Structures are given as structure tokens and as C-alpha cells.
A = this chain, B = another copy of it.
Amino acid sequence: MFASLELHYKKSFLLFPRIINCTMEKSRLEAFSDGVFAIVITLLILDIRFPEVDYSQFAATLTSVLPRILAYVMSFIIIGLYWVIHHNSMHVMKKTDRGFLWLNILFLLCVSFIPFPTSLVGRYPFEAGPIMIYGATLIACNAVGYVMVVYVHYHRHLAMAEFGDKYLRSHTPVYIIINGAYLGAILLARPFPLVSYIIYIAVVVMIIFFLPNVDDGINYQAKE
């Protein structure tokens, strides 16, 4: 039934298929993604709820809330990093198609999930389960991100000329190293929970500080 409809559409050329396909410009995809990133990063604060206690227990309760504050800081920076990477990745894109669009929605689905494991590690900071779920969520984000790179590799007409053959090849080891580190963090969560956190933070710090800075004074010019 749908097949015949489809045929009809292919002939008529002016409707639902067009509705689904024709006009998701790159800029709107970016704007929507930016919106989701901004909201996810800001919703994190909602998990830091102070229990309804008498003020005499204020200091003790604040101490018990401290892990949630630290989890807030960690996830804020990690989501901020995903935003930066997402944004810069979009720069090599020339066009977008339906497949890429849905991979992007899947990526946002994973990133939007981060507040949940953040809430868990904030509540049970030294238990293995939450740390493992946190790591698994990050691996899922990275995996979808990697599939997006692979997708563009095989749909080269979507990308700018800069996106050469080496792009995928040079990115693959980075994804393997990062996800390998996260996998290690998951495996170490039970015996050494603190080591897992150090790994999560170290990966972020590494990416922010140690990946080379090739600013050449051109790329960052303001577009007012």
C-alpha cells in the first residue's frame, strides 16, 4: 500500500516526499542542535535539589549535595565539549541529507540523555552502577558521532573539499582511544571508582588542552 503511494509520489513530484526531504538546510540543523545543547546543559542544574530539611542540618545536607554539584560541573563541561566538537564538525559539511539529519537526531538523543546518568553519579558517587551507565552514555554519544563521520565519508558530496580521504582514517584512532579509555573506566568502576572519574576528566582535559591549536588568525574572524 505504501509502495503504491510511493510510486504515485515519485510520479507527481510535489508532496509528502518533498515535505520530508527538500529543505533541511545545514544552518537550521545547527540552530536546532544548538538549542538542544543549550537546554540540556542548563537542565543539569535542576538535579541539584536541596532536600527539605531544618536549617540546623544545613551544613550536613550541603555536604551530601556536594557530589551532585561536582557531577553538574563534570557534565556541564562534557556537554560543552560535545557542543564545540559538533559545531566544528558541521563546518566541513556542505549539505545535509535525510540520513545525516536522522543520525544527528540520534546524536542529540544520546546527549540529551546525559542528565540521567549525571543524576545517578551525583546520588551514588562511589558505586559502580552509575559510573558504568555514565561511561556507556558517553560511548554511545561517541559511537553515533563516529557513525556520522563514516556516513559523510561514504556520502562525500555532503562534505567540503577539506573532508579528504584522510579525514576518516585520522579520526578513527582518536575515537578508538577515547572510547577505549571510557571502556576502561567502566571496567574499573567496581574496584576503583575514583580512577574511573579521573579517566572521564582526563579525557576531557586532554581534548581541551592537548590537541593542537592551529588557529591561524583567519578562521576565527567575526562575522557580524
| Chain A residues in the interface with B (C-beta under 8 A) | 1-3, 5-6, 8-10, 12-28, 30-32, 34-46, 48-50, 52, 55, 58-59, 62, 69, 72-73, 76-77, 80, 83-85, 87-89, 91-98, 101-102, 105, 108-109, 112-113, 115-116, 119-120, 123-124, 127, 129-130, 157-158, 162, 164, 166-167, 170-171, 173-174, 177, 206-208, 210-215, 217, 219-224
The answer to whether B5 and A174 have CB atoms under 8 Å apart is yes
Count the copies: 4
Which single residue of chain B is at the shortest CB-CB distance from A8? B170
A203 vs chain B, min Cβ distance (A): 10
The answer to whether A217 and B88 have CB atoms under 8 Å apart is no
A189 vs chain B, min Cβ distance (A): 13
A21 vs chain B, min Cβ distance (A): 6
Residues of B within 8 A of A73 (CB): 109
Q: Provide the bound-state CA to CA distance between A98 and B85, in Å.
A: 12
The answer to whether A50 and B123 have CB atoms under 8 Å apart is yes
Q: Provide the bound-state CA to CA distance between A13 and B214, in Å.
A: 8
Residues of B within 8 A of A45 (CB): 40, 43, 112-113, 115-116
Residues of B within 8 A of A18 (CB): 88, 91-92, 162, 214
